């Protein structure tokens, strides 16, 4: 296990270097932040622009800027935002919990709903319960997340006035973004659980478990579910990456003060330090989740653990 | 004798089982008494497995219904009809009063729970034991099925055990609550013969010890002869015959039983014959058996000609990566210094158990697997130094037939396409008309018709699919066919037909066969010479007569004595078989000892310890 973790850690370092290099390089292709900052400011001389670039450290060679950023990673000092000069670490500290809260709770709620529904669909294959669950999941899959978010706002915030349309302000403001994320995740997860379960239920050891006289619930939730776990965990892990991508859009619609909103604004303003930091944090999170997935494999499946 | 002893424990009366509109079992009746063994015999599709699942009411989960009949069982609560019992009642009976062992030991145990947990689960459920007490009992049960290191096994997972060990765990689990009735559905079919012999012995001994009734479901007449007191023969969902085992074998009444018994290859039936022999087949023609074909002595081997295939000191090893940094720490020594020749028109059989390397030899000859060292000469040319064109030619002249005909045909292509593919690949014939003609000809050659060419693999039965695979192999005009367990997945009556087809083709086209099999009785019928493999080495090689009539190596003798013989009158006489087949995996640097072979008769080589 120790060897495995060391190997994974080395891989993670490599991934972070590649991701940050690409991000730092690509963002500098998008244009000059000095021009962006002085837009609409009337008479701006070339000397003013040079001064701004010097102040922001943009006159230095790319690699110097990049290594400065990497060095900052170790001290959690990501520099200051080009806009307003707030410390990037302060911005992150505010946005990260908001995003994590939204992401994990929608993932967990979705897993909690999709497992029993998926199992129900698998055990009543071809019957009405299965059909209903499959149709509902297809409907859920067909919604684009931004559209669903807008419809929810239209219905619950504007027409019915039950929920606040945006912002993060108590439990009520949390409902709509979480439901939006949750519906789309659940729709895919139900299908995945159903397929994995159908395959497992055909196994000989399920027949053996029934021949022992075990009740259906023990057969399904003890013997079958644990065997479905590998494909499910794999998918839930992969989904986490997609979830973080989707969250940018949903956060934007609901004006949720998370990493997504932060990244969105930073892109618009060519705010290099903020964008670099957000993307680095996101990639670290994805790497971390994948590591957890690998460890989970070993926990649920002895064939991997004892190899 | 008391009344309960004479009343049947289980009485199936006029039972029909239906899945949707189709009836799989019709009006079946039989009964079993305590302490007796009833064998239900039949080929695939006879309804024998559905019968056992229906008694357990597990057929319900697959959509089975019982339009007629009843299954009366003497339970603790008195006599009940299992077909009308609730699933709740059934859960109290399953595992407690009626237990079941299934065919596939490799997939019968849940891979994510320990052996101990899986056995203890039944005891906790039915006997209300504490986890601690259940594990202690589980350990006793593992001792009972003679598994060594029972205490250590409790904490292990199924994948760490061999097939034979897993089947013993299954038996321990089934017998945990001392059931009155044990249903064993093909419990030894997937196992090697020496392991099969051990499992059969254990089942028989525990039956006597516990006074259980056993329903033994099998297609293997040899196993029936060894195990059963009474026999029910099923055919197409109906019982066609029943009676005491000796009567069924000595005086089969129903034509189907007669056909079935005639098709069973019996070990020792060829004693005194120098050559393999094609015997007439009994086939069912509607409801009456009919003899087809005549007797042909298969003296096709041309020993005067140079060998088609010469294998010298072949070694094939696989690396298994086990170190943290991907270093090789262990190797599978699949094939170690194997040498043999195959002459034109000759069948050489490679026999051995799992891990003996017999399939790896076949794959190495076809170059599906690279040899580690040694030479393979095909038609006098070394295979390893062949260029691209020669290799292509090699792939044409050596054909492979696999065990599973369904898996080896593309399900989305017509069989005509599959047969034509080698003709096109090797550009043997040009133009679609002549190719079409050749495909039709090949289909007729293997006993199908040209109308079959436009059908898909799923429209055929297992035997027909294997015929398609043979037609595909013949399509490229091969000199050598490697048949890897090509008959193992087929029912005996089909097996006999394909066997005759192989021999007929050999006679007509002078084909050579490398016949890889674990089935000694089939090998005896079919081959000119036999090589016995053990842990990647040839321990004995000689003519069929030498190997079967005067086996000299202890392993060959063990292998032969383990084969169940389809004759209940023959005394069970076998050297006591113990232990597992050792593993061919060795640590790097730990080289196996190479056996020296001595010639004890002309052409008969036997290994002695190095």
Task: Look at A205 and B107 and tell me if their CB atoms are within 8 Å.
Answer: yes
Residue A220 within a domain: yes
Token digits of residue B392: 């292509």
Give the Cα separation of B443 and A268 in Å (integer): 70
Sheet holding B328-342, edge to edge: B381-382, B373-378, B309-321, B328-342, B585-587
Q: In a 3-state reduction of DSSP, which class is residue B551? A: coil
Which position has the token pair 């039989």?
B30
This model's pTM is above 0.80: yes
Q: What is the pLDDT of residues B329-339, one digit of tens each?
A: 888 888 999 99
Residue B281 within a domain: no
- Please provide the DSSP assignment of A107-148 as one string: HHHHHHHHHHHHHHHHHTTTSHHHHHHHHHHHHHHHS-HHHH
Decide if A170 contacts A91 (C-beta within 8 A). Answer: no
- Please provide the DSSP assignment of B169-195 as one string: HHHHHHTTT--SEEEEESTTTTS-HHH
pLDDT of res. B604: 92
Domain count, chain A: 2
Task: Look at A7 and B61 and tell me if their CB atoms are within 8 Å.
Answer: no
Between B163-174 and B115-127, two packed helices, what is the crossing angle to 10 degrees? 10
Same domain membership, residue B189 and residue B45 = yes
Same domain membership, residue B426 and residue B323 = yes
∠ CA A89-A95-A96, nearest 5°, is 85
Same domain membership, residue B440 and residue B556 = yes
**Mutant choice from A3, A199, A213 vs B, greatest count of B C-beta within 10 A:** A213
Which of B99, B126, B157 has its CB closest to that of A306?
Answer: B157
Quote the domain boundaries for residue B534: 309-608
| Mean pLDDT of the B369-381 span | 90
Give the Cα separation of B9 and B72 in Å (integer): 8
Domain final residue, candidates B120, B147, B176? B176
Same domain membership, residue A148 and residue A106 = yes
Task: Look at B157 and A210 and tell me if their CB atoms are within 8 Å.
Answer: no
Same domain membership, residue A241 and residue A301 = yes
Same domain membership, residue A301 and residue A188 = yes
Which position has the token pair 């006489």?
B573
Tell me the pLDDT band of B573, cut-offs 50, 70 and 90: low
pLDDT above 60 (res B3)? no
Residue A97 within a domain: yes
Quote the domain boundaries for residue A19: 2-74
Same domain membership, residue A235 and residue A129 = yes
Domain final residue, candidates A12, A46, A74? A74
Decide if B48 contacts B259 (C-beta within 8 A). Answer: no
pLDDT of res. B62: 85
pLDDT of res. B246: 93
Radius of gyration over every alpha carbon of chain B, rounded to an integer in angstroms: 26
Same domain membership, residue B189 and residue B93 = yes
Q: Which of residues 284-303 of A touch B (CB under 8 A)?
A: 300-303
Decide if B527 contacts B544 (C-beta within 8 A). Answer: yes
Residue A79 within a domain: no
Residue % of chain B over a pLDDT of 90: 48
Residue B462: φ, ψ to 5°: -55, -45
Sign of the C-alpha dihedral, residues B125, B129, B132, B133? negative
Set of chain A residues whose Cβ sits within 8 Å of the Cβ of B170: 208
Q: How many residues does chain A have?
A: 307
Lowest mean per-residue pLDDT among A34-48, A200-214, B71-85, B438-452: A34-48
Same domain membership, residue B146 and residue B223 = no
Q: What is the pLDDT of residues B493-533, one digit of tens each?
A: 888 888 899 999 999 989 999 999 988 888 998 999 999 99
Tell me the pLDDT band of A75, cut-offs 50, 70 and 90: confident
| Mean pLDDT of the B148-170 span | 88
Same domain membership, residue B191 and residue B156 = no
pLDDT above 50 (res B2)? no
Domain final residue, candidates A27, A47, A74? A74
Task: Look at A213 and B324 and tell me if their CB atoms are within 8 Å.
Answer: no
Give the Cα separation of B113 and B169 in Å (integer): 13
Q: In a 3-state reduction of DSSP, which class is residue A82? A: coil
Domain final residue, candidates B156, B176, B196? B176
Same domain membership, residue B192 and residue B155 = no
| Mean pLDDT of the A40-45 span | 73
Same domain membership, residue A118 and residue A68 = no
pLDDT of res. B127: 93
> Quick one: closest CA in A to B179, which residue?
A212
Decide if A78 contacts A68 (C-beta within 8 A). Answer: no
pLDDT above 60 (res A307)? no
Domain final residue, candidates B145, B176, B207? B176
Residue B500 within a domain: yes
Residue A207 within a domain: yes
Q: Which of residues 167-226 of A touch B (CB under 8 A)?
A: 203-205, 207-215, 223, 226
* Higher local confidence (pLDDT), B320 or B57: B57
pLDDT of res. B1: 38
Q: Where are the alpha helices (DSSP H) in B316-412?
A: 358-365, 388-397
Domain count, chain B: 3
User: Any residues with CB less than 8 A from the CB of B547 and at least 6 apart, and which?
Assistant: B530, B532, B540, B541, B556, B604
pLDDT above 70 (res B366)? yes
Q: What is the CATH number of the domain that holds A171?
A: 1.10.3720.10
Specify the DSSP element, H or E, that contains A69.
helix A62-74
Across chain B, what does the average pLDDT equal? 88
Same domain membership, residue A137 and residue A266 = yes
Residue A83 within a domain: no
Q: What is the pLDDT of residues A248-301, one digit of tens each?
A: 788 888 888 888 888 888 888 888 888 888 888 888 888 888 888 888 888 888
User: Any residues with CB less than 8 A from the CB of A194 and at least 6 apart, and which?
Assistant: A118, A119, A121, A122, A130, A133, A134
Same domain membership, residue B140 and residue B39 = no
Same domain membership, residue B530 and residue B419 = yes
Same domain membership, residue A106 and residue A57 = no
Q: What is the pLDDT of residues A159-194, one digit of tens each?
A: 888 888 877 777 888 888 888 888 888 888 999 999
Tell me the pLDDT band of B84, cut-offs 50, 70 and 90: very high
Minimal C-alpha gap between A204 and chain B (Å): 5
Tell me the pLDDT band of B4, cut-offs 50, 70 and 90: very low
Lowest mean per-residue pLDDT among B41-50, B148-157, B208-217, B572-581: B572-581
Between A259-269 and A225-254, two packed helices, what is the crossing angle to 10 degrees? 50
Same domain membership, residue A112 and residue A9 = no
Task: Look at A212 and B121 and tell me if their CB atoms are within 8 Å.
Answer: yes
Q: In a 3-state reduction of DSSP, which class is residue B151? A: helix
Same domain membership, residue B466 and residue B485 = yes
Q: Which of residues 5-34 of A touch B (CB under 8 A)?
A: 7
Residue B403 within a domain: yes
Task: Look at B110 and A303 and tell me if their CB atoms are within 8 Å.
Answer: no
Residue A81 within a domain: no
Task: Look at A302 and B61 and tell me if their CB atoms are within 8 Å.
Answer: no
Residue A25 within a domain: yes
Same domain membership, residue B131 and residue B44 = no
Same domain membership, residue A152 and residue A200 = yes
Same domain membership, residue A276 and residue A134 = yes
Q: What is the pLDDT of residues B92-147, one digit of tens each?
A: 999 999 999 988 888 899 999 999 999 999 999 999 999 999 999 999 999 888 88
Domain final residue, candidates A44, A74, A104? A74
Burial class (CB in 10 A: 0-12, 13-18, 19+), B454: exposed
Same domain membership, residue A210 and residue A156 = yes
Q: What is the pLDDT of residues A122-172, one digit of tens each?
A: 998 888 989 999 898 888 888 888 888 888 888 988 888 888 887 777 788
Same domain membership, residue B195 and residue B157 = no
pLDDT above 90 (res A77)? no
Give the Cα separation of B182 and B61 in Å (integer): 20
* Higher local confidence (pLDDT), B552 or A105: B552
Task: Look at A306 and B160 and tell me if their CB atoms are within 8 Å.
Answer: yes
Q: What is the CATH number of the domain that holds B64?
A: 3.40.50.300
Set of chain A residues whose Cβ sits within 8 Å of the Cβ of B91: 213-215
Which of A3, A211, A300 has its CB closest to that of B95?
Answer: A211
- Give the residues across from B79 on adjacent strands: B74
If you count residue pairs, one on A and one on B, with CB atoms under 8 Å apart, how many are there?
A: 77
Sign of the C-alpha dihedral, residues B478, B480, B484, B486? positive
Residue B107 within a domain: no
Task: Look at B126 and A213 and tell me if their CB atoms are within 8 Å.
Answer: yes
ipTM of the modeled complex: 0.80
Same domain membership, residue A203 and residue A151 = yes
Q: What is the pLDDT of residues B544-572, one digit of tens each?
A: 999 999 999 999 998 888 888 888 877 56
Residue A86 within a domain: no
∠ CA A78-A270-A56, nearest 5°, is 55
Q: In a 3-state reduction of DSSP, which class is residue B374? A: strand
Q: What is the pLDDT of residues B272-330, one digit of tens each?
A: 888 888 888 877 777 777 788 778 888 888 899 999 999 999 999 988 766 656 677 88
């Amino acid at each position: 296990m120790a060897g495995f973790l060391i190997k994974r850690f080395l891989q993670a370092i490599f991934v972070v270097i590649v991701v940050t290099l690409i991000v730092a390089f690509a963002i500098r292709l998008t244009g000059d932040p000095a021009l962006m900052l002085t837009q609409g400011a009337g008479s701006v001389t070339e000397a003013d622009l040079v001064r701004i670039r010097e102040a922001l450290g943009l006159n230095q060679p790319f690699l110097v800027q990049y290594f400065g950023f990497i060095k900052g990673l170790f001290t959690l000092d990501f520099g200051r935002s080009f806009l307003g000069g707030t410390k990037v670490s302060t911005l992150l500290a505010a946005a990260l919990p908001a995003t994590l809260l939204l992401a994990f709770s929608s993932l967990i709620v979705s897993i909690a709903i999709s497992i029993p529904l998926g199992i129900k669909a698998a055990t009543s294959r071809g019957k009405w319960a299965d059909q209903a669950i499959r149709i509902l999941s297809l409907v859920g899959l067909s919604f684009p997340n931004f559209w669903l978010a807008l419809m929810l706002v239209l219905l619950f915030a504007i027409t019915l006035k039950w929920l606040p349309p945006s912002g993060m302000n108590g439990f009520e403001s949390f409902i709509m973004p979480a439901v939006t994320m949750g519906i789309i995740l659940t729709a895919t997860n139900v299908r995945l659980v159903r397929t994995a379960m159908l395959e497992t239920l055909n196994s000989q050891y399920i027949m053996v478990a029934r021949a022992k006289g075990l009740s259906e619930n023990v057969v399904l939730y003890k013997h079958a579910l644990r065997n479905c776990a590998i494909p499910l965990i794999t998918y839930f892990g992969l989904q986490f990456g997609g979830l973080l991508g989707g969250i940018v859009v949903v956060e934007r619609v609901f004006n949720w003060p998370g990493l997504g909103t932060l990244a969105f604004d930073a892109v618009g303003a060519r705010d290099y330090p903020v964008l670099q930091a957000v993307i680095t944090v996101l990639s670290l999170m994805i790497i971390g989740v994948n590591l957890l997935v690998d460890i989970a494999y070993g926990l649920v499946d002895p064939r991997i653990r004892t190899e | 004798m008391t009344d309960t002893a004479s009343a049947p424990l289980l009485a199936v009366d006029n039972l029909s089982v239906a899945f949707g509109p189709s009836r799989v079992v019709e009006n079946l009746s039989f009964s079993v008494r305590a302490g007796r063994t009833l064998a239900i015999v039949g080929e695939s599709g006879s309804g024998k497995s559905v019968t056992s699942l229906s008694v357990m009411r597990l057929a319900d989960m697959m959509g089975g219904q019982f339009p007629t009949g009843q299954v009366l069982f003497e339970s603790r609560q008195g006599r009940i009809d299992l077909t009308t019992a609730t699933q709740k009642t059934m859960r109290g009976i399953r595992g407690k009063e009626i237990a079941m062992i299934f065919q596939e030991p490799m997939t019968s145990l849940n891979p994510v729970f320990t052996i101990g947990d899986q056995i203890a689960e039944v005891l906790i459920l039915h006997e209300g034991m504490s986890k601690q007490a259940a594990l202690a009992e589980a350990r006793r049960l593992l001792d009972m099925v003679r598994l060594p290191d029972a205490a250590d096994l409790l904490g292990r997972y199924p994948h760490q055990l061999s097939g034979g060990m897993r089947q013993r765990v299954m038996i321990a689990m089934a017998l945990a609550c001392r059931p009155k009735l044990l249903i064993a559905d093909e419990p030894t079919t997937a196992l090697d013969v020496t392991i099969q012999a051990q499992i059969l012995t254990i089942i028989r001994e525990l039956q006597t010890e516990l006074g259980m009734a056993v329903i033994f479901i099998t297609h293997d007449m040899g196993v029936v002869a060894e195990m059963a007191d009474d026999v029910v023969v099923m055919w197409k969902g109906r019982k066609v015959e029943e009676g005491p085992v000796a009567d069924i074998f000595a005086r089969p009444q129903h034509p189907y039983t007669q056909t079935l018994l005639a098709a069973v290859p019996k070990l020792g039936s060829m004693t005194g014959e120098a050559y393999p022999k094609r015997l007439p087949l009994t086939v069912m023609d509607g409801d009456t058996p009919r003899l087809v074909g005549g007797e042909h002595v298969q003296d096709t081997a041309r020993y005067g000609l140079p060998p088609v295939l010469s294998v010298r000191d072949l070694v094939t090893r696989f690396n298994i990566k086990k170190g943290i940094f991907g270093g090789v720490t262990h190797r599978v020594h699949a094939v170690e210094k194997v040498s043999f020749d195959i002459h034109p028109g000759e069948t050489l059989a490679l026999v051995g158990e799992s891990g003996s390397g017999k399939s790896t030899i076949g794959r190495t000859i076809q170059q599906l697997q690279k040899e580690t060292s040694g030479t393979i000469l095909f038609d006098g040319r070394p295979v390893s130094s062949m260029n691209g064109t020669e290799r292509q030619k090699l792939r044409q002249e050596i054909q492979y037939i696999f065990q599973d005909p369904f898996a080896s045909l593309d399900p989305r292509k017509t069989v005509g396409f599959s047969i034509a593919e080698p003709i096109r690949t090797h550009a043997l014939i040009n133009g679609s008309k002549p190719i079409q003609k050749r495909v039709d000809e090949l289909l007729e050659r293997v006993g199908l018709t040209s109308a079959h060419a436009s059908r898909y693999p799923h429209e055929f039965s297992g035997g027909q699919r294997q015929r398609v695979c043979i037609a595909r192999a013949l399509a490229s005009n091969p000199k050598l066919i490697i048949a890897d367990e090509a008959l193992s997945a087929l029912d005996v009556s089909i097996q006999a037909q394909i066997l005759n087809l192989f021999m007929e083709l050999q006679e007509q086209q002078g084909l050579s066969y490398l016949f890889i099999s674990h089935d000694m009785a089939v090998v005896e019928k079919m081959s000119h010479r036999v090589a016995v493999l053990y842990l990647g080495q040839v321990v004995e090689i000689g003519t069929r007569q030498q190997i079967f009539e005067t086996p000299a190596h202890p392993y060959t003798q063990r292998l032969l004595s383990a084969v169940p013989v389809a004759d209940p009158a023959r005394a069970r006489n076998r050297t006591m078989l113990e232990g597992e087949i050792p593993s061919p995996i060795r640590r790097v640097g730990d080289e196996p000892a190479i056996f020296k072979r001595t010639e004890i008769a002309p052409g008969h080589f036997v290994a002695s310890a190095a």
